[in-house]
Structure 1
């Protein structure tokens, strides 16, 4: 990485900040050269100085970053900006790893979780766009991947998404509502209703999948694409008043009966999974780069169905870690066992 130029677009945002944390550890991508880092943000942040690995790095505009022709770009700045500027970075010769929803549904764009084998990620790529999947889709795919070759063919998901999944505004909305304690929706909120002391639909309704919200539609489309398998998924997703860390209740249906003991043993040895019999939840995932799996059991009414709970840090597993891991994969230095 010493001789490669890396731009981080959206560096002042929630995910951008976590990208910096992971890069600074040099655990996934070693030998970071701070002289080859481009910190990029909106006009209001241009000129700001961010301390990083012993150096003060100045924040620049997108236009300036494009002119410097980076080799790689990690973009966490929303779908609208990505659609506008990602092709410009590609035209300048970069590989863009994009955290938004802008490119995920396009068949020609790889949708990657590095700990899950996927032939569409070609390490010889010299330019193009790679999509980082939806935060919940990533943790579902990681938890399900060990079972797809055993005949798992349907998944029912009930997801509980933290407010940080909606960025700074989501986090600030919960803080404001807890402070005011009057049941009113926060002035800064982009949620469909008040969130403090409440459970609400994760997002507005999908324009492509009738009767499902946007987050549910993303899970239903993206998980099969990540796995490279045709697997049926039905999802429910709600926003919960948890600051950080997504979770979900899962039910997986197999074509044939399976041994609970065998499936648990598989989970214990699967990459990027921490199997536990402790009462762990979203809080326990903060700062971690794995998916917790607990409460694994065979459905009492259906021997071909197994149910369990999963949780992960949505800012790391669901965004920043996965993006940096994709970079590591492209550089040939990614190790699926090397996570916090």
Structure 2
């Protein structure tokens, strides 16, 4: 079985489709997406309810279907117009591609090597774009999203990126797509957390934070326990002077509650937002602590997530 997309541009015109036995299988459509068996098919284009309004008409017909090609361009990821030609997207990989018309579709595949949490995100779009997700049996499980996070079972899934309500306003559109999920090629120790959400992932495996990260004066603060449990640092609390000492791989950071002055290996630094205690939980600045410990921190505005690795 393979998938075919048919788009007839300019109306009032419709098309029908017949199989190799000339049995009609599609009636009076201007666009459709359908799975078909291997073989030859016939497309009939015809006028629809012209009456006396038209004497003739021009049209464009676009048919996209799998040719079995596996020689995909590593820069454009084409051909990837059907699920059968889907480009294999690695966990943590960002693809930068383009929808060449309002009828273009780009398909990507991901394979989870175990049950786990996935995080999908479209960003930096020059024209509106959305994605659908299908399972290995080609059943649609996600409709029209630009970001998506949930737990899925082990297996292969297909991501369809498509133009969203372009009309005549856009001729093409660039986008970036990133997927994080449990796989053999998952980057080591990749942590993803979300603002105002206790749920996160480590290498695609779901974790639950004691409290949700939040933003204060442009700075993201996270629970102190996260630093020790997920970043692997040694953390101690001094109740006498209300200080926090964080140690990892030869780096020592000393922070104090409600104090913007910190020490890194004995040298004084100033941070934008001081550590604070809320409901008995100590919160510290995520980016400052992570980067001082040699971690890379990336912010994704489309789904309000932070990736640390």
Structure with greater proportional helix content: 1
TM-score exceeds 0.5: no
Tell me the TM-score normalized by structure 1. Answer: 0.22
Q: Choose between structure 1 and 2 for higher RCO, CA contacts under 8 A separated by at least 6 residues.
A: 1
TM-score, normalised on structure 2?
0.23
Between structure 1 and structure 2, the one with the greater Rg is 2
More strand by share: 2
